[in-house]
Amino acid sequence: MSKTHVTCTVNGEETEFLCDSNQTVLDVLREDLGLTGSKEGCGSGDCGACSVLVDGRLVCSCLMFGSEAEGTSITTIEGIADGENLHPVQSQFLKHAALQCGFCTPGLIVATKALLDANPSPTDEEARYWLAGNLCRCTGYDKIMNAVHAAAAELRGESA
């Protein structure tokens, strides 16, 4: 079996890996790079638990081959905080109790960051449609939306 050699940037660090042609970015992150924060909930792009940013664009890492990562810059949940300082999306998820089991949380946080990067003041409807690809079975999304809006306000520099 021939493997592809891939060089890319993961959470700001230049990273090299060898991958099988049918390994996904999610497989590589979890199995080869030890980045298990991205989760596999479905393997078919329906749950969003594996959400990452590739060159700033939100994608499901289960729907991208590792080989395709050549030359890209990937941000995973492990790269959202600034060192030990939580990103406002992370701290607002905690403050607003926007997680119960926490399994969908990494994907939701990455997706929310992408939302607020693209749209600093989303309406509730815009936020809900943007996040429709991130399934959460525990919360009913209510507190997640509270956290999203609070994080948006914090990022806009408004006092929450």
Partner 1 sequence: MYSPTYAAPTTVDEAVGLLANASGAARVLSGGTDLIIQMRSGRLRPEVIVDIKKIAGTIGIREEADGWHIGAATPGAEIGEHAGLCAAWPGVTEAVQLIGSTQVQGRASFAGNLCNASPAGDSVPGLVAAGALAVIVGKNGKRTVPVEDVPVSPGRTSLAADEFVYEFIIPKASGKTSDAYLRFIPRTEMDIAVVGCGITVTLDASGTCTAAKVCLGAVAPTILVLDDAAKILIGNKLDDATLAKLDAAAQAACKPIDDKRGTIEFRTKVAGVLARRVAAIAFERAAAR
Partner 2 sequence: MNDISLKDALKVVGTRPVRPDGVDKVMGRAQFGGDAVMPGMIFGSTVRSPHAHARIIKIDTSAAEAMKGVRAVVTAADLPNITSEEAFVGEGPMNFRDLSCNLMARDKVLYDGHVVAAVAATSTSIARAAAEAIKVEYEVLPHVINEMEAMQPGAPVLHDDIFTSGVDPKPTTPSNVVKRMEFAKGDLEAGFAAADKIVERTYTTAPVHQAYIEPHACVAAFNPDGQCQVICSSQGHFMVRAYCAKLLGIDISEIRVTPAEIGGGFGGKTLVYLEPLALALSRKAGRPVRMVMTREEVFRGSGPTSGGTINVKVGAKMDGTITAAHAEVILQAGAYPGSPIGPALMTCWAMYDIENASAVGFDVVSNRPKVAAYRAPGAPISTYATESAVDELSRAIGMDPIELRLKNAAKDGTKALYGPTFQNIGYVETLEAAKNHPNLQAKLGPNQGRGVAAGFWFNIGGESSASLAVNEDGTIALVSGSPDIGGSRASMAMMAAEVLGVNVERVRPIIGDTASVGFTFVTGGSRVTFATGTAVCDASDDIVKQLRGRAAKLWEIDVEAVEWRDGSAYPAGDNAGKFEPLSLADIAVKSGRTGGPIAAKATVNAQGAGPGWGVHVVDVEVDKETGHVKILRYTAAQDVGRAIHPSYVEGQVQGGAVQGIGWALNEEYIYDKDGRLDNGGFLDYRVPVASDLPKIDVALVEVPNPRHPFGAKGVGEVPIVPPMAAIANAIFDATGVRMTSLPMSPPKVRAALDAAGK
- The site map against partner 2 for 96-135 (x = CB under 8 A) is xx-xxxxxxxx--x---------------x-xxx-xxxxx
Should residue 60 be labelled a site residue for partner 1 when binding is judged by CB under 8 A?
yes
Residues 6+ apart with CB under 8 A from 3: 18, 19, 20, 21
The secondary structure of residue 111, as a DSSP letter, is H
What tokens appear for 93 in the block?
Answer: 């998820």
Rounding to the nearest 10 degrees, give the CA dihedral for residues 56, 26, 66, 19.
150
127 contact choice in partner 2, partner 1, none (CB below 5 to 8 Å, kind-dependent): partner 2
Q: Do strands 51-54 and 4-10 pair parallel, antiparallel, or not at all (unpaired)?
A: unpaired
What number of chain residues touch partner 2 (CB under 8 A)? Answer: 57
From the list partner 2, partner 1, none, pick the one residue 155 interacts with, judged by a Cβ distance below 5 to 8 Å according to partner type. Answer: none
Bridge partners, residue 7, by sequence: 16
Q: Return the ∠ at Cα 47 (arms to 41 and 53), rounded to 5°.
A: 100
Q: Does 31 bind partner 1 (CB under 8 A)?
A: no
Query: Per rule CB under 8 A, is residue 52 in the interface with partner 2?
Result: no
Residue corresponding to tokens 């607002």 = 92
* Nearby residues of 143 by Cβ (< 8 Å), 6 or more positions away: 96, 97, 98
Q: Does 22 bind partner 1 (CB under 8 A)?
A: yes
143 binding partner (options partner 2, partner 1, none; Cβ < 5 to 8 Å by kind): partner 2
Which residues of the chain form contacts with partner 1 (CB under 8 A)?
1-2, 4, 20-22, 24, 43-46, 48, 51, 54, 57-60, 62-65, 67-68, 70, 111, 114-115, 129-134
Which residues of the chain form contacts with partner 2 (CB under 8 A)?
20, 22, 30, 35-44, 46-47, 49, 76-78, 80-81, 86, 90-91, 93-97, 99-106, 109, 125, 127-129, 131-145
